[in-house]
Each structure stands twice: as structure tokens, then as C-alpha cells.
Amino acid sequence: MAVDQNKAAATYAKVDRRIIPFLFLCYILAYLDRVNVGFAKLQMSKDLSLSDAAFATGAGIFFIGYFFFEVPSNVLLKKFGARLWIARIMISWGVVSSAMMFVTNDTTFYVMRFILGLAEAGFFPGVIFYLTLWYPSHQRSTRTAWFVSAIALAGVIGNPVSGMVMDSVSGALGLAGWQWLFLIEGIPSIVVGLWVISYLDSSIGEAKWLDDDEKALLAANIEAEDKHKHQHRLIDAFKSGKVYVLCAIYFTLMIGLYGIAFWLPSIIKAFGVKGYLNVGLISAIPYGVAVIGMLFISNHSDRTGERRLHYAVNVTAGAVGLALSGYFSADPVLAIAFISIGTLGVIGSMPLFWPMPSAFLAGTASAAGIGIVNSIGNLGGFVGPNVPVWIKQYTDQPSAALYAIAAILLFGALLTVLFIPKTLTPKPPQE
């Protein structure tokens, strides 16, 4: 038995080394290309005469395009395989992201953001589904955390890099800093997308770097778990009430995520910080806290096999952090400290959330169900950037938007406690 356990541990470690760092790199590029518009706003709003309302609409309209193609994209990923489909997604979004440099007014801004959403649709849920092909449920939260931590690391690395680009090459060859930002940060996605074709395997059976015994061990673990899932067909995903509860919960989480991501550079600049690089360095702090905290929380969730309460408690802590950051907005140090807690509460909850759909869905139903949850939930990405704009119509209180987002996150935590059954989160099998 000890030999089998050692063999299993070594095999999963081998899979970890092969696919997790690569997917991590892909998601850093994906998230950076999605939210670098928040940094570009510091300059492009003036150049293009974009109002805050126009920026919020353009930032959020990405998720409308994302919504329309999300489920079809995830089903096509299952049909054509992760290798070709993820490569297609990365190359197309890299091209569109770089082409954002040609935006000239609010209309072209809206159009390009919508097309970027179409191009990127299916990447995140595709990877979440891809992980279900390699890891059983009780191992998935930690691996998802490693993958999702790319969001936080994209903030840690991407914000200072974005600031440095805008500080150093603004005006070169007659292009504004924000134009260089879109061009420079879009190209790596194209390069890595081409790399996906030769590197990524669509299934355990295709992996030439595994021997036959290792393949059999991995496949047996997945098959043993899938026997206990009763929803396998495409229609099962659309008929499941649990799927739509998860959609509502994820919707609230995405309002928090993109409410922070798109406005954080502007919040930092409003503290009186000078220079784009300095704004980037300070805005990296909350993401750094999130990287460390989410790995600890998700590891604890995997060890205990509990998801629901981990998710609800962490989101609640994040909501409190955002509310307190608004309350102490006059003190930049305290405000950043509490924004960091809020960021951990939002980003750190994603790896706790995503093992839930695959706990009761399998096969095509899993691909479609993950796509449904991600597409409907990500409509919160349209709401999040617009919350400050909408709130401003009713109050001049500068922290009101943070209070509103905090209340929405608390509502999502309440939904989780009330409507997500304990049986949805299976515990690790006993040895």
C-alpha cells in the first residue's frame, strides 16, 4: 500500500510540474490583457476624452461578448481538445488585445472590448474543465489556487510593468503610453498560444511524458470519482438548479473582482501618488497579499475537504476589508491594508468555488456547466466597473461604491450558506 501511495504522489507531482506552471503562465497573460485597460485609463481617458461612464461601459462590455460565446467555446474545447482550442483562444485574444492600440473614441473602444471578450471566451472555464480531466475533486482546490493565483501575480508583476511601460515609452514613434501598453502586452499571448500547440496534451492518454502505469493510475482515479456523478449529458447542466445557484454566487464574486481590478489604479492615484510606476508598485501590494493568503486557505480546504464554509467566511472577510478601506480612505496606509484583505477575500475565494460544479457534474455536463456558471457569473464583470458610476448618481460619498460592493459580496456569502448543500463538496476518500 505504501508503495502505491508513493507512486500516486510521485505521479501527481509529475503532472503538477508539467501542466500547472504552464497554465499559470497562460492565465497571467490572459488576465493582464483583460484588465490592463484599468491602467491604460490613467492616460487614455484624457487622450480620447473618455468619461468615467464611458470607461466603465467599455471595461464591462468585454463580459457581454464573453457571455455569448462562453458555453459554446467550452463545449468546443471538449470536442476539439484543450491543446488546439486553448491555442486558438490565446492567439486570437493576443491579436485583438494588441489591436486595442488603434482605439480612437468611445465607440471603437466598446467594439474592441466586445471582440476581446469573444476572443477570450472559454479560456478560464476551459482550464477549470481541463483540470477535472487530470485531478480528482479532493485534489483540485489547491491546483486551482495555483492557477488562479496568476490573477494576483498578474497584479504583482503586471501593474509595475504597465506603469514602467507608460512612463518609459510614452511618445515613442508618435504613440501614446497606453498604445504601447496594449501592443507590448498583447504579443506574449500570441507567442505562448503557438507554444500551446506543441506543449499541452488534451488528455491523459496523449501524454507521452507519462508511462503506462502512471496513465492507468490517473485514469482510474478519475473514473472512480465519475461513477458517483449522475449528471453527464449537456442537458443535465442546463436543467440543474444547483448550477444556477452557483451562477448567482459567482456573479457577486465577479462584481467584487472587477470592481477592484478596473478601479484600483485610479484609487491609488487619488491618494496623491505620482508617476505610473509608483502607482503600479503600490497597487501590487493587495495582489501580493492575495497570492500568499489564497494558497494557505485553499490548501486547508483541500486537507479538510470542506468548501462551502471556507468560501463564505473568506468572502465575508473580503467584504469587511473593502468596507473598512472605504471608511479609512483618508488614511492611505490603512486603506491599502484593508483593500489587501478585500482582494484576498475575492481572489482567494475563486479556488474554493470552482471545485463545487465538478463535484456533481461529469463529462459534457461538466464542460457545459462550468461554462454556464462562468459566463453568467462573469456578467458581474460588467456590473463591477459600473458600480462607482451608478452610485455617484445618488451620493457624493467617495467610499459609497466600496460599501455597495461589500454588501453584494456579503449577499453572495449568504447564498452560499443557505443554498449550497454540504453534500455538494465531497471529502477526500479514506485511505
Supply the mean pLDDT for the chain.
86
Alpha carbon distance 152, 70 (integer Å): 23
What's the pLDDT score for residue 423? 65
Which of 126-135, 200-209, 224-233, 234-243 has the weakest average pLDDT?
Answer: 224-233
Cα–Cα distances in angstroms (integers) from residue 142 to residues 194, 201, 297, in the given order: 28, 21, 9
CA distance 198 to 271: 46
Is 211 within 8 Å of 1 (Cβ atoms)?
Answer: no
The pLDDT of residue 428 is: 44
pTM reported for the whole predicted model: 0.77
Convert the pLDDT of each residue in 201-213 to its tens digit: 988 999 999 999 9
Q: For the segment 17-56, what is each residue's pLDDT rounded down to a tens digit?
A: 999 999 999 988 988 887 788 888 889 999 999 999 999 9
SS3 call for 328? coil
Mean pLDDT for the stretch of residues 184-195: 94
* Percent share of the chain, pLDDT over 90: 46
Residue pair 136/374 in contact by the 8 Å Cβ criterion: no
| C-alpha pair distances (Å), 416 with each of 198, 205, 290 | 40, 37, 21
CB-based contact 24:151 (threshold 8 Å): no
- What digits encode the pLDDT tens for the residues 239-289? 777 889 999 999 999 999 988 888 888 888 888 888 888 888 898 899 999
At residue 231, φ and ψ (nearest 5 deg) are -115, 105
Question: CA–CA separation, 232 vs 235, rounded Å?
Answer: 9
Segment 332-379, tens digit of pLDDT: 999 999 999 999 999 999 888 988 876 766 666 766 777 788 888 989
Buried residues in 178-200 as b, exposed as e (16+ CB within 10 A) = bbbbbbbbbebbbebbeebeeeb
For the cut 90, the answer to whether the pLDDT of residue 410 exceeds it is: yes
pLDDT digits (tens, 9 = 90+) for 153-172: 887 888 788 888 888 888 89
For the beta carbon of residue 37, count every other beta carbon within 10 angstroms. 26
CA distance 139 to 11: 13
Least Cα distance to 223 among 129, 362, 45 occurs for 362
> Does 412 or 167 have the greater pLDDT score?
412
Q: How confident is the model at residue 429 (pLDDT cuts 50, 70, 90)?
A: very low
Q: Name which of 165-179, 310-324, 329-343 the model is least confident about.
A: 165-179
**C-alpha–C-alpha distance, residues 244 and 376, integer Å:** 9
Residue among 319, 326, 380, 309 at smallest CA distance from 344: 319
| Better-scored residue on pLDDT, 351 or 96 | 96
At 430 the pLDDT is 42
Burial class (CB in 10 A: 0-12, 13-18, 19+), 339: buried
Predicted confidence (pLDDT) at residue 2 exceeds the cutoff of 50: no
More confident residue, 311 or 73: 311
pLDDT at 141 over 80: no
CB 89 within 8 A of CB 119: yes
pLDDT of residue 19: 93
DSSP 269-314: HHTT--SHHHHHHHHHHHHHHHHHHHHHHHHHHHHHT--HHHHHHH
CA 100-380-385 angle, to 5 degrees, is 55
pLDDT of residue 398: 83
User: Which residue, 400, 355, 107, is CA-closest to 229?
Assistant: 355
First CA to last CA distance, the chain = 9
Check residues 377 and 223 and name the one with the higher pLDDT: 377
Model pLDDT, residue 431 = 35
Nearest alpha carbon to residue 9 among 184, 214, 161: 214
- Mean pLDDT, to the nearest integer, of 75-96? 90
Average pLDDT over residues 295-307: 87
Is the Cβ–Cβ distance between 66 and 118 less than 8 Å?
A: yes
